[in-house]
Amino acid sequence: MATIRGGVFTRTDAQACGYDAADIEQLVQCGTWRTIERGRYAHRRMLIVVNAEMMHLRRLHRLLRDGPPGLVASHQSAAGLHGLPLWGLDLSAVHVTVNRGRAGRVAGGVHRHVGSPPAGQVRTWNGLRLVTPARAVTEVAATGPAEAAVVCVDAALHARLVTPRTLDVAVACLGAGRGRAAAALGSASGRACSVGESRLRYLLRSAGLPEPSELPPPPVYEYGEADGPALWFAEQRTVVEFEPWLPYWGSCAGCEDDRYVPDSGPQPVEYVWVPWTDLDQPQLVVDRVRSAFARAAARSGVRQFDPSRRRTGRRRRRIPIGGDVPC
């Protein structure tokens, strides 16, 4: 509760979580909690590290609590309340949806969207009105950068806050940006477990590279055992290991079943390491992976032909033995 409220919570919030007056007094005296103002507290560690996401949620909670009635948190603001990562999204303004007013108005750090989401896509949680996770994710996909939207979708699928069905329904209820949202949702893999993995899968898919296998790479191969998570390209016999920066919360769907079966396929012959910082240079990562694919093909002796490659040169005509050469 403290996290989604920007680190600051009230005495009523603490009591709703099971803390009585004696517990609150003891936590304040020992310094674990700090008093912000009368009846409002914050964890000491949250006051030490304050980022843009925390400040955004803090402003949002204050607006929903003290602002005019009828405000509904939406877009990336609602996604933050649902605990989804806001990587790559603009957090300079708090996003809310109202029934009337001028569409797209931005004033005082508040972006007001005009609309009436379906009743089934608005909920009240702990006194705060916000759209459902599926609605928030599709709104982000319709208005935000594609890469950041894919991260948000993957995180929601990973935490099982949404399903492909609920996402399709939410897209159908959108007004403007429906096509853009559908494209972003289609680019999400649903198998990523961190922001780093979502970004890596997205840039490889955008470059037209083949999809990795659903199974992890063999536990032991020529380059040793992978220290962290990796993508396994079985046909290209290449392991792409990456830095799992900013992991998603929730159980990883299917991870318990991702066990490599010995002797069930080819062994890797090439290895690529992709650190988090290199994801800011997509072409560098794509060239590195393509080079590994080419080296693997040369070492394994298997040539892979691109069906879409345009034929170059003219085909020679075969002349039968003893036949006449055409003029």
At 327, the pLDDT band (50, 70, 90 cuts) reads low
Say what the pTM is: 0.74
pLDDT of residue 60: 92
At 211, the pLDDT band (50, 70, 90 cuts) reads very high
End-to-end CA distance of the chain: 87
Instruction: Determine which of 182-191, 262-271, 308-317 has the lowest per-residue pLDDT on average.
Output: 308-317
Q: Residue 253 pLDDT > 60, yes or no?
A: no
At 303, the pLDDT band (50, 70, 90 cuts) reads low
pLDDT of residue 47: 58
Mean pLDDT (the chain) is 83
Higher pLDDT, 244 or 283: 283
Higher pLDDT, 67 or 233: 233
State the Cα–Cα distance between residues 185 and 198, nearest whole angstrom.
Answer: 12
